Structure 1
């Protein structure tokens, strides 16, 4: 059991590796391919293009997982992840670099969907809540290592962080040896549809919307903060890595407490806490002009995300019938990564209109609005959660 948990935790870190490892390299990538038209947007797309292909591939991965099983698909997805991720080491054009990132997105879509489905298969009740908090903590604390490593390697050369993706291949033997194929309920055929098994569509839709909005907002940090720091004349790859490390460290520590929060607070109040922290972090980010202020703002943001994301995933899994778990996990993954893909388009528009500080202010207002809606829902429903679930 312990080995299985550890392998699932390590697999989960692959999703955060996908973006933050190369985030410190973006300014150098923009300089290297400066002769390309619209390079300001395209350089951000190196970070976020995988998100589009996650959104496209995750629903298909969910259907395949429900029909054919999880383990074999997960092994293939990890292999594809390692090879596609490391392709940046040899890509000789921006087009080739973007193609490799697109294939990486297909692999991530399968990994996040299969990992979420396996969590629902292996764990139930309080054990699941505790594990989800542990996973978010593991992902964000792992992010500290990855972003610091990416920053140090980017100081050597912008291609060097791509080496880290190849480490994913080491996980393949561990997945084969430590994970088992879950038994699916015999009463539900693999082709079960949303109309054949019990599912609360309002819950699924609400969770997907929240996942989308949170990731549109949060992804402005790894995709734009380094350029904001350049505008403030305080940027280098290592310092940016340390700022993102503060984000992940705080988020990881807070996520460790998710199981305790879930026992003491209902779903609505957990969302209220998380959205309030994220709104405060973005508010500070729009006025901070020194390294220390940016690091503190990111720590507050990370703490908020460390509360919100486990709550989203917990709600999605709790309301998933076993035969539909892969597909619902795919829908949530699609919402997360569509948000990440759209984020630079939204943020670039706001930057052009109001500058970096104005963009972070607007994102903070989105989080503040979600916090107010959570508060109003809590006041209206008393001890009922945001999604109508008693806790």
Structure 2
């Protein structure tokens, strides 16, 4: 099937019309905002912890500032997905982006940990709307090979954004731990582009077309549940990087926030590059085989970081883990979008969004006790051992991932 035959843009763009380059870029930019949601402030965590040193729970609460948005995404993503099915993708996306700007930048002004955590919680609600509606919109606009390619581009764009924002966050954190919160203002530019270029893909005509395409097909919720588990597990393992890496570096005598920003930037850069190959590998290995490969790579990268003692070696281990993540994320969302009938696509992608961000929230609740018991290297090693177990699950369930 040709690429042009695989692309559809119902709604305002007209049924069957190919989305414009401006539409594609705007959708990629909106998706890229989610990479900023939690990790952009990660390099400033030691400074935040020092600022609130009088709070006996500062160590845990500062880490929750990174992961709390994930909990709120996990709670609200299914609701956001259902609303996007009912009210329209574009409407939910634009409203969520407005909240994203306000909540994200609130850390510039708030001066108590509880208040900052409230702002981070509202950011999570916003991310639930942005990522769920953007992913569902992508499923509406693209089909077949074009859909696989777009999901790879989406993961790649998020990786490149991560390099810019995480490295920038590290440099800004050198000035003050609050400074990285200012990066959320970039979303204003994306909001303007989205308002101009993104069509409504869930109008009355589009709903009629979706009903015709579904032809009474039942949603494979069992297969989707397995994918949700894999998404959750991926984030439990991977999120040791942004949450614990600054403290692992400090444990090794590397205290500069810019060093953490560099290591995390390498992780996301390699992730973005490897995402370009996601479509090719998926075609050759299938969804289950690609999951197995990427989970083994993730485990190897995290284990490498666990035994590293210098910044170069840590960056190399992060690069291996990043390459694996670049294959994992587009495979997760593409498989969900491929399996889900159009009428429940918002709810299906909302479920994956929920699973991914629930994993982000749970990760430090598991890695922090591991770090206290075995050191930060031990926490990375535990995550490295866990990731290959996901490969086993993926291989056992590989037949259920075929659309």
Q: In 2, Cα distance between the equivalents of 1:94 and 1:66?
A: 36
Q: How does 1:31-42 map to 2 (within 5 A)?
A: 31-42=50-61
Deviations 1:114-155 (A, max 9, x none): 011001100000000001011101100111111111011100
CA apart distance, 1:372: 3.8
Q: How far apart are 1:304 and its partner, in Å?
A: 0.5
Q: Kindly report the root-mean-square deviation, in angstroms, between the aligned alpha carbons of the 2 structures.
A: 1.6
Say whether the 8 Å CA contact 2:288–2:401 is kept in structure 1.
no
**Structure 1 spans left out of the alignment, 5+ residues:** 190-195, 378-384
Residues 98-247 of structure 1 correspond to what in structure 2 (within 5 A)?
98-182=117-201, 183=203, 184-186=206-208, 198-247=218-267
Tell me what 1:382 maps to: none
- Name the stretch that deviates more: 154-163 or 261-270: 261-270
Partner of 2:4: none
Is there any run of 5+ residues in structure 2 with no aligned partner, and where? 1-19
Q: Could you tell me how far 1:263 is from its partner in structure 2? A: 2.1
Does residue 1:57 correspond to 2:79, yes or no?
A: no
- What is the CA distance between 1:389 and its match in structure 2? 4.1
DSSP 3-state at the match of 1:286? helix
State yes or no: 1:386 paired with 2:370: no
1:187 positional shift: 7.4
Residue aligning to 2:327? 307
Higher mean C-alpha displacement, 22-31 vs 361-370: 361-370
CA contact (8 A) 1:82 1:168 kept: yes
Deviation digits for residues 313-358 of structure 1 (CA, Å, limit 9, x no counterpart): 1110001111101111111111011110111110011112222121
Distance 1:16 1:218, change over 3 A: same
What secondary structure, in the 3-state scheme, does the structure 1 residue paired with 2:390 have?
helix
Q: Does the Cα contact within 8 Å between 2:73 and 2:124 map onto a contact in 1? A: yes
Normalising by structure 2, report the TM-score.
0.91
Matched, 1:369 2:381: no
8 Å CA contact retained: 1:206, 1:387: no
Spell out structure 1 runs of 4+ moving beyond 3 A.
372-375
Q: Is the 8 A contact 1:197 1:323 kept in 2?
A: no
Q: How much does 1:268 deviate?
A: 1.6
Task: Tell me the number of residue pairs that the alignment of Structure 1 and Structure 2 aligns.
Answer: 378
Contact persistence 1:243–1:295 (CA under 8 A): yes
Separation of aligned partners in 1, 2:139 and 2:392: 30
Q: Does 1:284 align with 2:284?
A: no
Evaluate the alpha carbon distance shift between residue 219 and residue 132 of structure 1 in structure 2; reply closer, same or farther with a 3 A threshold: same
Match of 2:94 in 1: 75
